[in-house]
A and B are shown apart, each in its own frame.
Chain A
Amino acid sequence: MLWWKEWRETRFGFLTALFFITGLVWTLPPTITLLDEYWLGIFLMAYTIGMAVILGSGAVAAEIDADTMQFIMSKPARRWSIIGTKYAVRLTETAAAFIVPVLIQINRDNVEMWMWVPPYLFLKYIACATLSVVFAFSITFLFSVIFRKQALCALAGISALLAYLGGRAMDVLKQVYESQPIDLELYVLTTLCAAAFLASLILFKNKEV
């Protein structure tokens, strides 16, 4: 029932966002230049990071703010299942909003390449971009367990993301520019996402509503 509720609660926003972005990618002419693809990639990242922030910040804070959290917490459901379902459904939606248009773009280009990235690296680069979006979601999700106001969670999430980008993104971009492997970044992002989720679980387990 928790899965159904999460899906019903977020499906309209998710499907609208997905429809818009896939529609945009789908309707672009197949002859766009590399530079156009670059800007499209940047737009796609920014768009899905925005969506990640909205979905992450609304996960727990919005329910506490609207007083519906007490309703669900008074039911015989384990706390980890309440928070775990929220995380899983919203994470899947965020990741799908990024991966689906990317796959469409790749399929339309009809080459095993994503923007200027060589074939042997492109899967890792897509994974890194997806993990960046997932990180934006996970960190905002964590803040939504801590703070009560959705806007505050979004702001804190964006700040944390900017701090991360300021600390590591230039190195990663340099590696990408030089077509180097970015395995370390994949590990770092995976660890950060897992840590953010784990912290959310622990905080929510002890949260008083």
Chain B
Amino acid sequence: MNAFAIETNKLTKRFGSVFAVNELDLQVRVGSVFGFLGRNGAGKTTTIKTLLGLIKPTSGSVHVLGMDPIKDGIEVKQRVGYVAENQKMYDWMKVKEIIRFTSGFYRDWDAAIAADFCKRFELNPSAKVGSLSKGQQMRLALMLALSSRPQLLILDDPTMGLDPITRKEFLNDIVMALQEEGRTVFFSTHILSELERVADTVAIIDRGKLKVAGEIDLLKTTVKSVRLTFENSPPNDILIDGLLRVQSDGRDCLLTLTDFSEDKLGQLKQRYQPMRAEVCNLSLDEIFAEYVLSR
């Protein structure tokens, strides 16, 4: 069995002269909850669409559960559950009709799971899809994605447009669904607080390019901020391995380092002789901002 649920190699998608995704290398381990971070327009949705075979890559390769989504599109879709950003479904269908309609496509459809989720999510089977609130519609989409018992669940900014309370409830639903089975989840979002609750690994993408990928805990341990306070104004030429960003403010100089260690701190102190050096931990939110802002 393949160790990776998703593997892309130099994946590139170009629309005219614009690179939506540029030489993206991703590896998502089987059984992990993978957070795919990026600002709006960073290339998250384009990447996801190539994973599902909805669009063809300009160059590079994509493998989902060991298969090519273009050549083995049907088999990939049998094993992948997908909830799109602002998922639109047929408004005129009733909840029970859209369940029956969707079940017809899957060989592993589990009617008992569908019924169970319907009950838990308080979805009225006789209600029209169009009459459901946005939160309920997203729950319905999640229920449809989970009822085919997918090996891989792809969620493309599923909480976008939801109010904070509905977003929290929806995330609880996802966590609940994840606890039940050890499936791989690929979760794309631009709201960091929600990702930290569910993901164990993240990748940050900006302008189509991968900035960093790794386990959240490891990122938090290795990416640190160091505040150096000097007697006079700080030097302009601060350079050290793994330096992500430098910000100067008066006598202070704030450095963001990607692979922080005590050795590196020692090197900084020795080389630039600051009055004071203070190490600051960064939240995932701050790490994301540092990677995106460092060009």
Contacts and interface: CB of A to CB of B under 8 A. Distances in A.
A1 interface: yes
* Residue among B52, B88, B102 with most chain A CB within 10 A: B88
Interface in A113-132: none
B54 A209 contact: yes
A5 B90 contact: yes
B88 A67 contact: yes
Interface stretch (A31-39, A75-83, A166-174, A177-185): A75-83
Given A74-B54, A76-B74, A208-B55, A67 B101 contact: no
Given A71-B87, A73-B54, A76-B78, 12 more contacts: A1-B104, A4-B101, A9-B90, A71-B84, A74-B84, A75-B106, A76-B74, A76-B105, A77-B74, A208-B54, A208-B55, A209-B55
Contacts of A8: 92-93
B187 interface: no
Interface residues of B, number: 25
Interface in A54-99: 66-68, 70-71, 73-78
Contacts of A206: 56
Question: Nearest 7 pairs between A and B by C-beta?
Answer: A1-B104, A67-B88, A76-B77, A208-B55, A75-B105, A76-B78, A74-B82
A5 B101 contact: yes
Interface in A1-17: 1, 4-5, 8-9
A67 B86 contact: yes
B55 A74 contact: no
Contacts of B49: 208-209
Interface residues of A, number: 19
B275 interface: no
A76 B80 CA distance: 9
Interface string B90-123: 1011000000111011100000000000000000
B89 interface: yes
A4 B89 CA distance: 16
A77 B105 contact: yes
A68 B74 contact: no
14 contacts: A67-B86, A68-B90, A70-B84, A71-B89, A71-B90, A73-B54, A74-B54, A74-B82, A74-B84, A75-B77, A75-B102, A75-B105, A77-B74, A78-B74
A66 B88 contact: yes
Given A76-B78, A78-B74, A209-B54, A71 B88 contact: yes
A179 to B, nearest CB: 48
A22 B185 CA distance: 55
A208 B92 contact: no
Given A4-B101, A208-B56, A76 B106 contact: yes
A77 B101 CA distance: 12
Interface string B36-78: 0000000000000100101110000000000000000111011
Contacts of B82: 74
Interface in A166-209: 206, 208-209
Contacts of A73: 54
A117 B74 CA distance: 52
Given A1-B101, A1-B105, A75-B77, A68 B54 contact: no
B124 to A, nearest CB: 19
Contacts of B84: 70-71, 74
B75 to A, nearest CB: 8
Nearest to B73: A76
Contacts of A76: 73-75, 77-78, 105-106
Contacts of A67: 86, 88
B73 to A, nearest CB: 8
B155 to A, nearest CB: 12
Contacts of B56: 206, 208
Given A76-B78, A208-B54, A208-B56, A70 B105 contact: no
